[in-house]
Amino acid sequence: MKLPKAKNRNLFVKENTAAVRAAEAHAAEMVTNISETTRKGLKALIVRAMETGQSPMESAREISEMIGMNERQALSAENYRDDLEEKELSPERIDSLMEKYVDRKINERSENIARYETMSALNGGLMESWQQAQESGLMGKDSTKWLVITDDNRTCPVCIDISEQEPIALDEPFESEYGSTLMPPIHGSCRCTVAVDPGSLDETVSDPENEYVNDENS
């Protein structure tokens, strides 16, 4: 006999393995300016982080050992060096300031990557578990989702726009100038989440008494 409690626990375990699968499928795809070997390494790192529940901050520390700056950062580093040279500092002083600058930029980038990849995998896993819930009748075929922003002065206007749109079907992507994506993150430093309306339930599954009786009889 299946108890509802055991069922819930099952769903939770599925959700974690779903995040691992999401990482296996798509982790590190969006990271620019890295070699394919580094991409493979990053992917393995994120998959392991999903398996062990490692925090994004811990992942960021490991990532900072693997990557350099992105293109935009490399350009601003060049500008920074130009500024320092104009100030006529000693070469040693310039080198040491540059080293600190580059370290700081790589740390920032590593944190962004860790946050983005963690959110992608968790949300990808969530999406998969919702689809499974739909297939097994725990959520209605008419379930909808909508974007929930972190509302403060850093909130991106594109995400505010999406969050004000009507709820969409689970398998419909959020469309914006960043392209179309099933789940956030919508862009690099996106802090959005998704809320879901489970829709109308399949009656044969939604009535717990009915299910219990069925289980007893089988």
H helix runs in 136-173, sequence order: 157-163
186 binds Zn ion (CB under 5 A): yes
For the record, the structure tokens of 26 come out as: 């798509």
> Does position 162 bind Zn ion by CB under 5 A?
no
Q: Is 159 an interacting residue with respect to Zn ion (CB under 5 A)?
A: yes
Selected from 28, 31, 121, 192, the binder of Zn ion by CB under 5 A is 192
In order of 39, 51, 67, 100, 205, the CA distances from 43 in angstroms are 6, 12, 13, 27, 38
Contact between 190 and Zn ion per CB under 5 A: yes
Give the interface segment with Zn ion, choosing from 16-24, 79-87, 103-111, 188-196 (CB under 5 A): 188-196
Nearest Cα neighbor of 200 from 122, 135, 127, 142 is 142
Residue 128 three-state SS: helix
**Cβ–Cβ < 8 Å for 70, 113:** no
**DSSP symbol at 200:** S
Q: Distance between CA 216 and CA 88 in Å, rounded?
A: 85
Least spacing, CB of residue 136 vs Zn ion, in Å: 30
Nearer to Zn ion, 27 or 159 (CB): 159
CB of 40 to Zn ion, least distance (A): 28
Query: Closest separation between CB of residue 190 and Zn ion, Å?
Result: 3
Could you say which residues in the range 4-33 bind Zn ion, by CB under 5 A? none
Binding segment for Zn ion among 57-65, 86-94, 116-124, 157-165 (CB under 5 A)? 157-165
Span from 16-24, 49-57, 154-162, 193-201 in contact with Zn ion (CB under 5 A):
154-162
Angstrom distances, CA of residue 184 to CA of 31, 66, 67, 148? 16, 25, 24, 10
Residues 194 and 123 sit within 8 Å (Cβ to Cβ): yes
Q: If binding is defined by CB under 5 A, does position 119 make contact with Zn ion?
A: no
| Site stretch for Zn ion (CB under 5 A), options 85-93, 102-110, 192-200, 206-214 | 192-200
The whole-angstrom separation of Cα 61 and Cα 59 is: 5
For residues 121 and 159, which CB has a smaller minimum distance to Zn ion in the complex? 159
Question: Smallest distance, Å, CB 185 to Zn ion?
Answer: 6
CB of 204 to Zn ion, least distance (A): 38
Question: Contact positions toward Zn ion, by CB under 5 A?
Answer: 159, 186, 190, 192
